[in-house]
Amino acid sequence: LLEYSEQQLKEFGVGLLFHDFGKTKIPLEILNKPGRLTPSEFDMMKNHSEFGYKLLSRKYKLPEITKMVIRHHHEKLDGSGYPKGLRGKDIPEWVQISTIVDVYDALTADRIYKTKWTHRKALDFLYDRSDRWFNVSYIQLLENTLPDRKEYLSLLDF
């Protein structure tokens, strides 16, 4: 489905590795809060993508793909994402893929405020929102890339 050069894949991978770097600027009481965030706490949390983009762009000469992933990995097709509220075709393919990967990872990982979901439940969540938030082709790509019939995944599975 996707045909990218080795260099493009490296740039994409660096963006994925550093996509949440801006969380280093979020107060720990917000990052580690066990309950639901208040609207003002969530607004602060939403700043992490801009923080990461600005911090890393100032210090390093990052490729465009890397910068796009770091800055926009919370954009949604219907424009309800952040930081810019990009819509549909205004969201680069790299960003659309990184958003799906980020949501999948968040759902299938234990967090202080929730227990991890199964592989199937996370995919169902993504598919249920494919009409508004996610490109279904990229969800299918993720599903076809992951090991079959795994309830929970680990880096050791790859």
Catalytic residues: 23
Residues 6+ apart with CB under 8 A from 72: 49, 81, 83, 84, 86, 91, 92, 95, 98, 99
What is the Cα–Cα distance from 102 to 100, expressed in whole angstroms? 5
Residues 6+ apart with CB under 8 A from 71: 49, 50, 52, 53, 83
The tokens for 132 are 């508004």
Q: Report CA-CA distances (Å) from 83 to 32, 47, 69.
A: 22, 7, 12
